[in-house]
Structure 1
Amino acid sequence: MSYQPLLLNFDEAAELRKELGKDSLLGHALARDIKQTDAYMAQVGIEVPGHGEGGGYEHNRHKQNYIHMDLAGRLFLITQESQYRDYIVDMLTAYATVYPTLESNVSRDSNPPGKLFHQTLNENMWMLYASCAYSCIYHTLEESQKRQIEDDLFKHMIEMFVVTYAHDFDIVHNHGLWAVAAVGICGYAINDQASVDKALYGLKLDKVSGGFLAQLDQLFSPDGYYMEGPYYHRFSLRPIYLFAEAIERRQPDLGIYEFNDSVIKTTSYAVFKTAFPDGTLPALNDSSKTISINDEGVIMATSVCYHRYEQTDTLLGMANHQQDVWVHASGKTLSDAVAAADNIKPFNWGSLFVTDGPNGEKGGVSILRHRDEQEDDDKADTMALIWFGQHGSDHQYHSALDHGHYDGLHLSVFNRGHEVLHDYGFGRWVNVEPKFGGRYIPENKSYCKQTVAHNAVTVNQKTQNNFNTALAESKFGEKHFFNADNEKLQGMSGRISGYYDGVNMQRSVILADLPEFEKPLILDIYRIQSEQENQYDLPVHYSGQIIRTDFDYQVESKLKPLGDDNGYQHLWRVGSGKMAHDSSSSLVSWLHDSSYYSLITSAQPDSEVIFARTGANDPDFNLRSEPAFIVRQSGKDHVFASVLETHGYFNESIEASVGARGLVESVTVLGHNDIGTVVELKTTTGNHYHFGISNQAEDQQQSQHSVEFNGEAYTWLGAFAQL
């Protein structure tokens, strides 16, 4: 028999059949899929709904139909039970009967509509998964059945994507990636090589202006990072792996898994490596706060990377965390390896710098990680991340591709199982039709994208690059330094220039594991250069309850927004306090879950700390109510020096609290100039720690630095050091 299903040939299906009922990752995945698919087929049957509200019943029914057709296809091959085959035949026939006469749906934005969904992206996904299901039953069909399904359904869909909406087909973007994968997989399924060639090489067949190879060649940085951030990056993994598997099986001579120095592996690892220790993905640009390495695309990638690239302990750790594998031959390889392993340690990708931009020239993401020696789970890990890459949008295309945020030098910190200093993420109601039809809410632009919504300094209560997408796309940050050679003292630094007119910024973070502290300290040195006097706000977004401060503050009796625009209009002013003239720093301490956290920040005579909460000017209750505080200072050239200390333990159920007060007493900027910045930490135990940060160009950082501030000389070697 010459025709084989696209993703799972008959011999592989027979091997997977042996896993039915087994207590293994693959056995559990099969049991879950069987239970889910059987229930859906029994409860819903065959239904082809019409048009409805975005994110509503009709949208979800079409989506569930393609999901369960895809599952049923593989289950038919594995179990050999005819009910799955019959379900797919009946469903595809029902769609083929109505599809040619359907009117286009109504577009809710500038992304063109399909006949089933409000945007062609969803229609691409429907055709991709339906084509995979069709390939699983192709060998059982009569010629008349094939003709109806192919001629009245799939060929109409292909024409829509490559002819009607040809202007979107070759977009090098995650939407374009889904389009080419859908057409390519459908082309393979119905033996239409001409459509496959368009999907592979673009409509011009030049391998450059569009097509899957161009997507793989142009979409990612040399380190595999995707400009829109991990949320859209993990979304791209599904079409990549589904199409790549089909290509490898139908056209193995292309060597798709080795293409462009194995870019499929590289870009998968870029997603893996950005994950927090609990598996969630950081919210860079438009991002959900709940997406993690348990996402379908990441599970596919983990299985295939282990099967086709390298069999490492780190991938075993990821699979053990996911407790899932792809129902596929690669999933069996990984499932067998997990079952055979004696001791699987939690995954740990270590500290790293990932470049952004097609040539790695547009900044990137720096990550520092530390794992406690005495513990071995995600709560033992401390992770700090700075983002300073390119803006995650492309204004040339429709608004559906505008996912960039304005937060160069954003900082996130993860510790003891939580994101301690966190990013808000996107503002979107996914598939909740009364809340803006599943689309991005207006507050996504008016708050979530704004600089103040992130842990990055705002200047004069404005947003970086004047909230102008085209302007922001012309800017990008640059790595200042990155060094993780010494696990006890790691450092990273990035720079942005001109994001505010006449203002340059440099943010340096040191992860310092010092003997007297429970967890590594996060030392954050934020240097600002300007010839003009400005107001500088350092927002800190946290979770939990304020426990104490070392300054007096007043709680507002009547709430008012912090400002009129640039995101400040969505922040209630809850309270505030000003530092005494003799204060060298300010301390804010809070409790989250079972841990205490204290942020101690250098102060000056006009320093103010403002306590805030999201929710102002939010008539539809779209925003989550979350706390933040803002350290407000002013000046020309200026430095915020902060230390985040994790300390103590709290347990309400047994009424226990220990270590509620941290050891860091004060943080002082002793001085800063073009050579370096020196910061002093004092502890309640009487210890003094000094740190030096190089402010010089990269080619001068490794030399000796000598500075003198207030009559004291400080010397160190390298980009940063404990003095």
Structure 2
Amino acid sequence: MFGKFFFNQRKALSAAVAVLAMAPLSGLAVEHPNLVIDAADVDAMQGAVAKPGRFRSAFLASKSAVDHALQVPLAVPVPTDAGGGYTHEQHKKNYQLMYNAGVLYQITEDPKYAERVRDMLLAYADLYPTLPLHPKRRPGAENPGKLFWQSLNEAVWLVYTIQAYDLIRPSLSNAEAEKIEQGALRPVAKFLSVESPATFNKVHNHGTWLTAGVGMAGYVLDEPEWVEQALLDLDKSGKGGFLRQLNTLFSPDGYYNEGPYYQRYALMPFVTFAKAIENNEPERGIFKYRDGIVMKAIDTTIQLSYNNLFFPINDAIKSKGIDTSELVLGVTIAYGESGNPQLLDIADRQHQILLSGDGLKVAQGLDAGALQPYPFKSFAFRDGKDGDEGALVVLRQQTDGDQALVFKPAAQGMGHGHFDKLTWQFYDRGEEIVTDYGAARFLNVEAKNGGRYLQENETWAKQTIAHNTVVVDETSHFDNNLKIANRNHPELLFFHADDQVKISAAEIDSAYPGVSLKRTLALVNNPESGNSFAIDVFGVESSQKHQLDLPLHYNGQLVDTNFRLQGFTDSLKALGTNNGYQHLWLKARGKPDSGLAQVTWLNDNGRFYTQSSLVDGKTELLFTELGANDPNFNLRSEKGFIARRNGARSHTFVSVLEPHGEYNPSKEFTLEAESQVQALQHRQAGDLELIAIGIKNGATQLLAYNRSSNVPEELENIFEYDGRKYQFTGRAKLFQITN
């Protein structure tokens, strides 16, 4: 039914474009659209929407949503609200509607879509010149906005809006285009560039959004100087700008310095601007730049997820995952450029088809059954622009519940980083078991500090005690000093992954003066026994005596301990007074005898988890719950326990996390609720480290690994355990010993 309509409208449009192309307005020497969608894409999409399939379904869904939105009167309000407020959200809705309507105009050539975009842009052209800096901007901040409380959101508005303008430009009269450009588009681009030099030149995700918006505006408005400034910074020195951001913010493995949450957010301007550069100046080879860093970044973003959600390190909101609009765009463009059928697996999970030329390729690939499984892998994603500032390590086991262990010997991550060197998280059967708090923030909930970060983000979420790593003398790493933290990073000692053993180690000696921290984490699985374990060896060395705290934050309900607890049920006190300790209620404490200390909890996934720790009789276990000194109820009520060793110059925390059993309240049965671990040993034999886990059936799971930094794959390791000799080649080996 669409074919004849398209044909007739297309001829009329072609004639109009021929006339407009002779006009001396900026941008008309350029063919429109020319950013993420070009004329060839439009032709292909027009043919595709007349045929059954995923693309037609996506088109009809978008058309229905936009048609409904067009029934609502146009609203371009004077900005008054911070994030989450009415005016903030209305301007977000506006740029999203303008973009979607612009795409529909290109596909259908129905003038109603272009008319709504035109009317909205004319309203912005009337409004924007009258605006002062936003009334809810942060006092003293270098990045205020006008339409929004910060310039970041203004740049997002421009990224979407310049595409919408590009899509409907052929429908506008000269006078309309002149007013829109002079009243809105050019002033916004000027405000985000020469009037915001500190943010525009900043090597940071805010800078990426600003350079992308201004650079894309340069292509549409025929301002090549803007494009050069966006690529190289305002004075074109290369000290800032888009290319410097690509060189600096990503490691050679495509890991983004601020972590996966902000990698996801920064991905949209990176891939959008890259696509615009490729369409306008393919000779730049932007998708091949720096060994294909844009494509690597898209793949790494996917890898840094579990059960479709991103690992919530640093300032992260836990609900963000691979179906976010930024990664949908990234996967779509990556597939369009590469044709990699494994990306179709991710696109299928995203359940979204974009109306673009690349989106059409995704839809056609899925319709044709070309999908191949995406290979999630164990990997050490190097950090730092040169890959020498630690790493974010992901250890995965695809057997016994699809497990993932995240180890964070990474760089600070700038202002969004947390003081949590060598921390870890653990995932099993779709759930986060050993947890990270992420950010203390209610995104776009205006009642909670305007949707911005809460003060508890500083007093709790960034503090070391909020994470699963050693705290010395109740003081956070680097004494909570960001400048010092940004200058220091852990050293990744080794990483190894085979079918049964995934293991990595790292160390840092700058988190505390005179204190060395070294941690080894392993995820092991023995198919002969069916046992899987997460093994943790955390060594602390110092010339002075210290209080050492090793917290473990867990998700679930405490079930049992094998030592006696003193519970505090009549009154509660905060565990400390500063550095995050003031937010922890002390709920119970206990001092287990020398040997094995076990704590068991039950997760909502119906599985039990036991942390078995090797203790020396001088280690105390403190059980905590988050919420002290929180009068505004800003913090989530989360649980943890802390292994505390007082007066220690050197100490090694050794523990094993064991998933086991099943609890099914629906069918009313419980299986293997008790741990099968009955003994734990830690030994050293030259360069080898041995962790022996005694199982109740009499067997022993023995992990042997070489702790040297460099171990050749062919290295022969020989050791003795309980009077018997063992040997293995390379880094590590898991032995099953039966009596």
Which TM-score bucket, shorter chain as reference?
over 0.9
Give the letter aligned to residue 100 of structure 2: L
Counterpart residue number, 2:409: 388
The answer to whether the Cα contact below 8 Å between 1:385 and 1:412 also exists between their aligned partners in 2 is: yes
Counterpart residue number, 1:128: 159
Q: 1:18 deviation in Å?
A: 4.3
Counterpart residue number, 2:86: 57
Counterpart residue number, 1:296: 325
More divergent stretch after superposition (191-200 vs 287-296):
191-200
Deviation sequence 1:410-462 (CA, Å, 0-9, x none): 11111101111111101112111111011100000100001111111212222
The answer to whether the Cα contact below 8 Å between 2:596 and 2:612 also exists between their aligned partners in 1 is: no
Give the letter aligned to residue 115 of structure 1: K
Deviation sequence 1:478-537 (CA, Å, 0-9, x none): 1111111x2112211122222122221222122211136545211112122222222222
The answer to whether the Cα contact below 8 Å between 1:586 and 1:602 also exists between their aligned partners in 2 is: no
Q: 1:390 deviation in Å?
A: 1.0
The answer to whether the Cα contact below 8 Å between 2:341 and 2:370 also exists between their aligned partners in 1 is: no
Structure 1 342/94 Cα, relative in aligned 2: closer, same or farther at 3 Å? closer
1:622 equivalent among 634, 639, 643? 634
Tell me if 1:147 matches 2:194: no
Tell me the distance in 1 between the aligned counterparts of 2:527 and 2:394: 22
Deviation sequence 1:582-603 (CA, Å, 0-9, x none): x333333333321111111111
Tell me if 1:367 matches 2:394: yes
Q: 1:672 deviation in Å?
A: 4.4
Structure 1 695/519 Cα, relative in aligned 2: closer, same or farther at 3 Å? closer
Structure 1 466/674 Cα, relative in aligned 2: closer, same or farther at 3 Å? farther
1:553 equivalent among 540, 559, 565? 565
Tell me the distance in 1 between the aligned counterparts of 2:723 and 2:340: 57
Report matched runs for 1:456-471 at 5 Å.
456-471=469-484
Report matched runs for 1:533-572 at 5 Å.
533-557=545-569, 558-572=571-585
Tell me the distance in 1 between the aligned counterparts of 2:259 and 2:177: 41
The answer to whether the Cα contact below 8 Å between 1:240 and 1:264 also exists between their aligned partners in 2 is: yes
Tell me the distance in 2 between the aligned counterparts of 1:229 and 1:491: 21
Counterpart residue number, 2:168: 137
Tell me the distance in 2 between the aligned counterparts of 1:219 and 1:686: 51
Counterpart residue number, 1:358: 385
Structure 1 572/270 Cα, relative in aligned 2: closer, same or farther at 3 Å? same
Counterpart residue number, 1:157: 188
Tell me if 1:522 matches 2:522: no
The answer to whether the Cα contact below 8 Å between 1:99 and 1:153 also exists between their aligned partners in 2 is: yes
Q: 1:467 deviation in Å?
A: 0.5
Q: 1:135 deviation in Å?
A: 0.5
Tell me the distance in 2 between the aligned counterparts of 1:423 and 1:531: 31
List gaps (5 residues or longer) in structure 1.
Answer: 374-379, 394-401
1:336 equivalent among 352, 359, 364? 364
Q: 1:86 deviation in Å?
A: 0.9
Counterpart residue number, 1:323: 351
Counterpart residue number, 1:413: 426
Tell me the distance in 1 between the aligned counterparts of 2:724 and 2:424: 31
Structure 1 679/535 Cα, relative in aligned 2: closer, same or farther at 3 Å? farther
Tell me the distance in 2 between the aligned counterparts of 1:712 and 1:344: 46
The answer to whether the Cα contact below 8 Å between 1:527 and 1:639 also exists between their aligned partners in 2 is: yes
Counterpart residue number, 2:146: 115
Structure 1 280/517 Cα, relative in aligned 2: closer, same or farther at 3 Å? farther
Counterpart residue number, 2:674: 661
Q: 1:575 deviation in Å?
A: 1.2
Structure 1 299/53 Cα, relative in aligned 2: closer, same or farther at 3 Å? closer
Structure 1 665/222 Cα, relative in aligned 2: closer, same or farther at 3 Å? same
The answer to whether the Cα contact below 8 Å between 2:504 and 2:521 also exists between their aligned partners in 1 is: yes
Tell me if 1:66 matches 2:78: no
Tell me the distance in 2 between the aligned counterparts of 1:82 and 1:316: 34
Tell me if 1:287 matches 2:316: yes
Q: 1:237 deviation in Å?
A: 1.0
1:3 equivalent among 31, 43, 62? 31
Structure 1 448/32 Cα, relative in aligned 2: closer, same or farther at 3 Å? farther
Structure 1 227/343 Cα, relative in aligned 2: closer, same or farther at 3 Å? closer
Give the letter aligned to residue 466 of structure 2: A
Tell me the distance in 1 between the aligned counterparts of 2:379 and 2:489: 19
Percent of aligned pairs with the same amino acid: 32
Counterpart residue number, 1:228: 258
Counterpart residue number, 2:110: 81
Structure 1 648/241 Cα, relative in aligned 2: closer, same or farther at 3 Å? same
Tell me, what secondary structure is at the counterpart of 1:265?
helix
The answer to whether the Cα contact below 8 Å between 2:98 and 2:164 also exists between their aligned partners in 1 is: yes
Tell me, what secondary structure is at the counterpart of 1:163?
coil
Tell me the distance in 2 between the aligned counterparts of 1:198 and 1:127: 16
The answer to whether the Cα contact below 8 Å between 2:419 and 2:476 also exists between their aligned partners in 1 is: yes
Report matched runs for 1:222-301 at 5 Å.
222-276=252-306, 278-301=307-330
Q: How many residues get paired?
A: 702
Give the letter aligned to residue 666 of structure 1: A
List gaps (5 residues or longer) in structure 2.
Answer: 1-16, 18-29
Tell me the distance in 1 between the aligned counterparts of 2:672 and 2:370: 37
Tell me, what secondary structure is at the counterpart of 1:585?
strand
Give the letter aligned to residue 452 of structure 1: I
Tell me the distance in 2 between the aligned counterparts of 1:488 and 1:362: 28
More divergent stretch after superposition (9-18 vs 409-418):
9-18
Tell me, what secondary structure is at the counterpart of 1:631?
strand
Tell me the distance in 2 between the aligned counterparts of 1:53 and 1:403: 20
More divergent stretch after superposition (3-12 vs 230-239):
3-12
Tell me the distance in 2 between the aligned counterparts of 1:647 and 1:699: 33
2:207 equivalent among 172, 176, 189? 176
The answer to whether the Cα contact below 8 Å between 1:355 and 1:365 also exists between their aligned partners in 2 is: yes
Deviation sequence 1:369-409 (CA, Å, 0-9, x none): 12129xxxxxx41111101111111xxxxxxxx21101111
Structure 1 61/673 Cα, relative in aligned 2: closer, same or farther at 3 Å? farther
Counterpart residue number, 1:212: 242
1:33 equivalent among 56, 62, 78? 62
More divergent stretch after superposition (676-685 vs 16-25):
16-25
Tell me, what secondary structure is at the counterpart of 1:389?
coil
Tell me if 1:451 matches 2:481: no
Structure 1 534/712 Cα, relative in aligned 2: closer, same or farther at 3 Å? farther
Tell me the distance in 2 between the aligned counterparts of 1:489 and 1:54: 46
Q: 1:182 deviation in Å?
A: 0.4
Taking structure 1 as the reference length, the TM-score comes to 0.92
Tell me the distance in 2 between the aligned counterparts of 1:498 and 1:210: 29
More divergent stretch after superposition (8-17 vs 150-159):
8-17
Counterpart residue number, 2:26: none
Q: 1:22 deviation in Å?
A: 6.7
Tell me the distance in 2 between the aligned counterparts of 1:293 and 1:495: 31
Tell me, what secondary structure is at the counterpart of 2:193?
helix
Tell me, what secondary structure is at the counterpart of 1:692?
strand
2:132 equivalent among 99, 103, 111? 103
Tell me the distance in 2 between the aligned counterparts of 1:480 and 1:59: 47
Tell me, what secondary structure is at the counterpart of 2:309?
coil
Counterpart residue number, 2:706: 694
Q: 1:675 deviation in Å?
A: 3.3
Structure 1 625/638 Cα, relative in aligned 2: closer, same or farther at 3 Å? same
Structure 1 23/464 Cα, relative in aligned 2: closer, same or farther at 3 Å? farther
Give the letter aligned to residue 496 of structure 1: I
Tell me the distance in 1 between the aligned counterparts of 2:375 and 2:550: 31
Give the letter aligned to residue 171 of structure 1: K
1:348 equivalent among 375, 382, 390? 375
Tell me the distance in 2 between the aligned counterparts of 1:23 and 1:605: 70
Structure 1 638/702 Cα, relative in aligned 2: closer, same or farther at 3 Å? farther
Tell me the distance in 2 between the aligned counterparts of 1:625 and 1:111: 35
Q: 1:544 deviation in Å?
A: 1.3
